Amino acid sequence: MKKRNAILSSVLAGAMLLSLTACGGADSSSSSSAAAGGDSSTAATGEAAGEALGADTQAIVDRGVLRVGVKNAVVGFGYQDPATGEYSGMEIELAKKLAEQLGVDVEFTTVTAATRTELLDSGDIDCVLATFTITDERKESWDFTTPYYTDYVTVLVEDADGITSLADLQGKVVGVSSGSTSARSLVEAMIEGGVIEGTGFSADTFDPATWTEGVTFQQFDDYPAISTALSAGTVDAFCVDKSILAVYKTEGRSYIDDQFAPQEYGIATKKGSDFSTYCNDFVEACLSDGTIDGYISEFNLG
């Protein structure tokens, strides 16, 4: 992706100092980069007009590119067309809007539950918009915005296996994504539902690799691998957020009756970065002006 020339960057940076634009107004695009430049119909948000951006945010403007970690296999949130390479989904559109507000291009990097924080910590990406669930534990290491979407965890199974409830998962092997909170959420739901006693369970120290009471887990690097394992019988069930499971709910597969553990998604940024505040202002503006509700409707996420 070509960066803008120095003259254009200076103009854009100066424009940002005079007026920050918010979330709504511009038409969506399905391309993997958004041209710099704001829409005159967008509303002001973030710092007051005329106030300088923080150093971290200004560095993104000076670079001319916002680097965002996204999913590429979650239809409705972050999906990359294998034929065209184009990304689509609610989180893709939010990233484009954020880049447009900054007056820069956007560059997408595909992340998984296991790699998203590594790339954020290393500085390879500026933020994560990748169905990243907000938890108190995670907030100790990274900043999160106000939630832009709330989902629930559930379990996908093959109809032929006759699994329809949490109780039916006893003695089964469940596939989960490495680095996700799905396994812990499932165990908590089984304990709360009286399916297992949960002796010795601690949310703080829970490790899916060593848990053996009632259910065991096999961890995978990505969701397609779990789906393949489910088809092959390597695992008996696939557990993750329902919005993620939707693309894998093909003929002959069903969700169990239970859904649990509300999952609030937010934009993740480096701890203590002034860009965290900028992103939070952006999300709150998008919630207020109906932009996010529009995306939920557009991508059938309601």
Note the pLDDT tens digit of each residue in 130-166. Answer: 999 999 999 999 999 999 999 999 999 999 999 999 9
Quickly name the fold that domain 152-263 has.
D-Maltodextrin-Binding Protein; domain 2 (3.40.190)
The distance in angstroms from the start CA to the end CA of the chain is: 34
What's this model's pTM, rounded to 2 decimal places? 0.71
pLDDT for residue 246 = 87
CATH superfamily of 6-148+266-298: Periplasmic binding protein-like II (3.40.190.10)
pLDDT tens-place string over residues 191-217: 999 999 998 999 999 999 999 999 999
Predicted confidence (pLDDT) at residue 89 exceeds the cutoff of 60: yes
pLDDT for residue 295 = 97
Parse the chain into domains and list their residue ranges. Answer: 6-148+266-298, 152-263
Q: Please tell me if the domain spanning 6-148+266-298 has the same topology as the one spanning 152-263.
A: yes
